[in-house]
Amino acid sequence: MNIRMKNKFYAYIQNLQNQICAGLETVDGQTKFREDLWDRPEGGGGRTRVIENGAVFEKGGVNISAVHGKLPEAMQKMFNVGEADFFACGLSLVLHPKNPMVPTVHANWRYFEMYDDNGNVIQQWFGGGQDLTPYYLFEEDAVHFHQTCKTACDKHNPEFYPKYKKQCDAYFWNAHRNEARGIGGLFFDYCKATEGPSDSEQAKQMSMENWFNFVSEVGNSFLEAYVPIVERRKNLNYTPEQRTWQEIRRGRYVEFNLVHDKGTLFGLKTNGRIESILMSLPPHVQWVYDHHPEAGSEEEKLLKLLEKPKNWIAD
């Protein structure tokens, strides 16, 4: 490669942040993202962009960061290594729409390097994914989101979509509630050179350049996966009771992020920027004691769906 992978991927996510924010501002039509630039004392920093109180998006953020320095103790334990230098960069986004007929969405694409005492790269990998959390189920929306994910995956390996869809269903599982956070999408991590989801010859041929091409393919598909759903649902009428249901379900989203999400917990334990970490939390949430939706209702239909992951794309 002419440039190091970390520079290539950081340039990519800077551009992707611009593209996604511009696309979302067009969809909202009323408000713009606010930008904060921040520095990490230990090394690096980021560019946080937040949208609030728009016509469509009640709150959302599209953040990028690139941090480096000594590997924090929590990460040393996670990777079972001693002291080392590292570099990590990524884009993370969460969007909480105002209308309960429009689903919440989350996405993340990241890259990590670790070095020896001479500055040589000794470990490097990609990770990321995108997932959808509806409050009311429209099956055509679920199929569209998953089909877009599958199309991006299939350009690189037909094994990727079923593998990473399954990993997404397993990761975004609220174990203490025994239910899924949403209807899933893709989740992949520790994507390294020569490694793939199986022993197939195609998987074995994945170089870091191949992984970059795959991750950027998924990142570039985000607006295509989400914006058509928003456009279909953003002007639908809804009742105060449906808004209350949305806020109750948002509570489950908060629970997952604070109890189970590895990225949130890592940020909280490693002196991350708290405003950027908690950007993912919605502004209006309810916890109603022992709440159960009416039998046979659309709300109950969603809960039953979340009891077991579903295959949205026919084999």
- Residues serving a catalytic function are 106
List alpha helices for the chain, DSSP H: 5-28, 73-79, 139-154, 160-171, 201-204, 208-220, 222-233, 240-259, 262-269, 274-277, 298-305
Question: In Å, how far from its chain's centre is CA 14?
Answer: 16
List alpha helices for 126-192, DSSP H: 139-154, 160-171
Please give the Cα distance from 220 to 217 (Å, whole number): 5
Q: How far is CA 273 from CA 34, 95, 153, 264, in A?
A: 16, 19, 32, 11
Q: How far is CA 94 from CA 6, 57, 127, in A?
A: 24, 10, 17
Contact 86/75 with Cβ under 8 angstroms? Answer: yes
DSSP state of 71: P
Question: In Å, how far from its chain's centre is CA 222?
Answer: 10
Name the nearest CA neighbour of 102 among 63, 130, 141, 140.
141
Structure tokens at 198: 């199986």
Please give the Cα distance from 307 to 178 (Å, whole number): 7
Q: Exposure string (b/e) for 89-117, b if CB count within 10 Å is 16 or more?
A: bbbbbbbbbbbbbbbbbbbbbbbbbbbee
Strands 57-70 and 85-97: antiparallel
